[in-house]
């Protein structure tokens, strides 16, 4: 395959992290909500156990990774199989307006909820208008 030389005006391709393990890797679906106090990340992790979920916050990157183990023995003959099992991973760049020390997580009914509180300086504040 012939590849044309890169033109001076073109930017080089950004490198990306390549997985170092075999098998499928799933990307959980998420919703991210924001209010004055915090960001809330809702991630669907059906079939995951809380002990198998690892959440890290480092250098402004929030990472969610874990594993969903099979519900049935490997030799099970499925008629239809849509539910994925295996490793999952999702990461987000988080601004400095988040108070990393106060990030918390809870898991119930297949949904992971992450609370990312904003630092005081990033919260909106009402400015009172005074009269003279």
Map out the domains of the chain as residue ranges: 26-71+83-121
Q: How far is CA 49 from its chain centroid?
A: 17
Q: Render each residue's pLDDT in the chain as its tens digit; 132 residues.
A: 555 554 555 544 444 455 555 666 788 899 999 998 999 999 999 888 999 999 999 988 999 998 888 777 778 888 887 776 788 999 999 888 899 999 999 999 989 999 999 988 777 778 889 888
Q: What is the pLDDT of residue 14?
A: 43
* Domain 26-71+83-121 class in CATH: mainly beta
Whole-prediction pTM value?
0.71
C-alpha to C-alpha distance for 22 and 32, rounded to whole angstroms: 30
Sequence-distant (≥ 6) Cβ neighbours of residue 26 within 8 angstroms: 68, 84, 86, 87, 88, 89
Q: What is the pLDDT of residue 26?
A: 85
């Amino acid at each position: 395959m012939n590849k044309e030389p890169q033109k001076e005006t073109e930017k080089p391709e950004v490198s990306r992290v390549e997985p170092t393990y075999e098998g499928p890797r799933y990307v959980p679906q998420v919703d991210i909500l924001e209010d004055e106090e915090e960001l809330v990340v809702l991630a669907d992790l059906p079939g995951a156990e809380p002990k198998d979920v690892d959440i890290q916050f480092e250098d402004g990157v929030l990472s969610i990774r874990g594993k969903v183990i099979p519900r049935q023995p490997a030799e099970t003959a499925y008629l239809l199989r849509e539910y994925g099992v295996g490793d999952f991973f999702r990461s987000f760049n988080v601004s400095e307006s988040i108070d990393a020390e106060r990030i918390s997580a809870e898991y119930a009914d297949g949904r992971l909820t992450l609370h990312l509180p904003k630092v005081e300086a990033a919260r909106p504040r009402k400015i009172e208008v005074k009269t003279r």
